[in-house]
Amino acid sequence: MARLNAAVLPLCVALLAFSLAGQSAAGRYYSDQVQDKVRKEVEKAMAYNPSIGPALVRLVFHDCWVNGCDGSVLLDKTPTDGTNTEKKAVNNIGLAGFEVIDTIKQKVGAAASCADILAFAGRDAADILSRGNIFYSIPGGRKDGVVSSAAAADANLPESTFDFGQLQTNFAAPGRNFTVEELVVLSGAHSIGVAHLSSYKDRLGADATPIDSDYQSALAKATPPELLGKGQDPTVPNNPRDASAAFQKDAAYDPAAVGVSPTRGVLDNSYYHNNLINKVLFKSDWVLRTDGFAASKLQEYKDNAAEWNSDFAAAMVKLSSLPAQGKNLEIRKNCRFTNQQYYY
């Protein structure tokens, strides 16, 4: 073996370290160690439990929509709210992924806020779930808040029974300023993940907002509404593409006929295909058809997958950049608790 020139050796070592430290399984390189650690943990967690990916994408929305991106959704207890934190909000039903954030926090320590970790983790989950089609860069530097109220979460997060006007107002609220186009773009996140029966029970009755009758029967068969009266709240996939073959048969849902890729679990524009044939889960999805401009965007994103990928990435950057509100911002030691018992 040729002897390495003394001047070349450090370069080789540096290159090796670069490629080992910076290259994730999916091929993304991050120029800082925090993002690299986040990436690796998200990849591991999603490989172990695929439902973590959608949960992390949703967490970004639910954190940043309430007091800005301040990690408030992660808190179990605060000096002002006790244990009645955002996690207890009705609109936060099904929220998950907290353990992954905890694990990452243990690895990065004080080098990143919980709000940064959450934003990076959601970004990486979107990248992996979209098979690399949705990728965006976001800076760090977010700070963690010390307030987290269930009531504030329920007052700020949109509900699945909202009509179009309520969604539009919610998205356009001062401090957010999200457009109808961004509402339509971000709703495409419902191509992944699951929902509880209580979140779509209004879609199963005779007076439901328009819904394909086969799809409605399949939903009622898979999760009979009476279960709610018996204390059960089962889930179905948000996207019929991700449901079992039996469900798809009941729902007369054939991905090829609908024009979507049959691969389950992918974050893509299938939501728009489904919406335009009334096979979407929530009223808040369907009502996008009731506004002329929103409906035209549904059609546009159905027809142009690449455009949706890039517009979704841009909207996620905007979402992940909503500034933290309030005072006493800090870098939490533990994402579930504020650093102090009280604040002036």
Closest to 207 in 3D by CA, of 197, 219, 216, 196: 216
Residue 63 labeled ligand binder:
yes
Smallest distance, ligand HEM to C-beta of residue 262, A: 19
Smallest distance, ligand HEM to C-beta of residue 317, A: 12
Give the C-alpha separation, 28 to 23, whole Å.
6
The tokens 């290159």 sit on which residue? 15
Which amino acid is residue 55, in one-letter code?
A: A
Residue 102 labeled ligand binder:
no
Q: Which is nearer to ligand HEM, 36 or 41 (CB)?
A: 41
Residue 163 labeled ligand binder:
no
What residues are paired with 196 via a beta bridge? 235
Q: Which is nearer to ligand HEM, 253 or 312 (CB)?
A: 312
Q: Which is nearer to ligand HEM, 69 or 108 (CB)?
A: 69
Residue 72 labeled ligand binder:
yes
What residues are paired with 235 via a beta bridge? 196
Neighbours of 262 (CB within 10 A): 13
Residue 70 labeled ligand binder:
yes
**Is 62 among the catalytic positions?**
yes
Give the C-alpha separation, 226 to 209, whole Å.
20
Q: Which is nearer to ligand HEM, 60 or 108 (CB)?
A: 60
Catalytic residue chosen out of the listed positions 62, 87, 289, 302: 62
Give the C-alpha separation, 274 to 278, whole Å.
6
Write out the residues near ligand HEM by the rule CB under 6 A.
Answer: 54-55, 57-58, 61, 93-94, 96, 158-160, 162, 167, 183, 186-187, 189-190, 192-196, 199, 238, 282, 284
Smallest distance, ligand HEM to C-beta of residue 341, A: 32
Closest to 121 in 3D by CA, of 17, 199, 216, 24: 24
Smallest distance, ligand HEM to C-beta of residue 167, A: 6
Residues 6+ apart with CB under 8 A from 203: 209, 211, 216, 219, 281, 282, 283
Residue 86 labeled ligand binder:
yes
Residues 6+ apart with CB under 8 A from 171: 158, 178, 179, 180, 182, 183
Smallest distance, ligand HEM to C-beta of residue 268, A: 13
Q: Which is nearer to ligand HEM, 24 or 199 (CB)?
A: 199
The residues assigned a catalytic role are: 62
Known binding-site positions: 63, 66, 68, 70, 72, 86, 158, 190, 250, 263, 268
Binding residues for substrate: 158
